[in-house]
Amino acid sequence: MLILLPPSETKRAGGRGRPLDAASLSSSSLTPQREAVVDALVALSADPDAAARVLKLGATQLGEIAVNAALRYSPTMPAIDRYTGVLFDALDGASLPTPSRRWLGAHVRVHSAPFGPVGALDAIPAYRLGASASLPGLPGLRRVWADAVTAALAQEAPAFVLDLRSEAYAALGPVPSTVPSAYVRVVSEGEGGAVRALNHFNKHAKGALVRRLAEERPRVGSRGAFVRWAGRAGLRVRDGDSGELELFA
């Protein structure tokens, strides 16, 4: 099973690893796209006014421009430790034992805007770039990433993809039709059985789900196997619209 996660806007600063090596990241076929986006982001940072406008930065966020300018030589850390926020706080990868972290490294990708999907243990620097940004000199990020990511997933051909990304990041790399997959939507059930999608708890539930998977490290090679594991784990998962899976929080 391969799990696709969205990134977070908030990130941990610093790191101890060597600077970014795009060719060493998971899915090495995406190296040209990674290099192009990083080059464009670094170039944009040379013009603080343009960078603030393109990245939609407020007065208290202007320090992010210097972070982007340093992308090529700043220290790195594993992606699962770089991101903070609701989802990654619930996952809390730093507190997991070594076998669970290795499982994350083998089974989890975080879909970033500048690097595409990176392995949970891939070393990445801090950065500021969202899925909707349009960098000067490049087409929209959807055009940069979508076909390349889909092709990379088709080439790797995982037995099953559990897609926990937001819709914005799923659009940056649709799972190919040749790969069995399920998009997960977090929902709650109200009076009369009415189901509604969640926002804040959506992120927490996804982080807690991935943590539970990393702790138990089940062998999941299909949609049915995941649903069966979820039932044994006390999680409520059922078929939703358009082939989606609904995870009840």
Mean pLDDT of 59-81: 97
- Beta strands (DSSP E) in the chain are 2-5, 77-78, 108-112, 116-119, 123-124, 161-163, 181-189, 195-197, 237-239, 245-248
Residue 101 has pLDDT above 90, yes or no: yes
Q: What is the pLDDT of residue 249?
A: 86
- Tell me which DSSP letter residue 176 carries: P
One-character DSSP codes across 8-42: -S-B----SBPSP-GGGSSSGGGHHHHHHHHHHHH
Quick one: tokens of 128? 């500021």
Q: What is the pLDDT of residue 201?
A: 87
Q: What is the pLDDT of residue 242?
A: 86
Kindly report the average pLDDT of the chain as a whole number.
Answer: 95
Residue 49 has pLDDT above 70, yes or no: yes
Mean pLDDT of 167-196: 88
Mean pLDDT lowest among 15-19, 78-82, 194-198, 220-224? 194-198
Cα–Cα dist 174/67, whole Å: 29
Range of the domain at 239: 2-248
User: How many separate domains does the chain show?
Assistant: 1
Q: What is the pTM of this model?
A: 0.95
CA atoms 149, 145, 90, 16: torsion sign: positive
- Is residue 160 within 8 Å of residue 221, measured between CB atoms? yes
The residue assigned the tokens 């507190």 is 95
- Please report which confidence band the pLDDT of residue 241 belongs to, taking 50, 70 and 90 as the band edges: confident
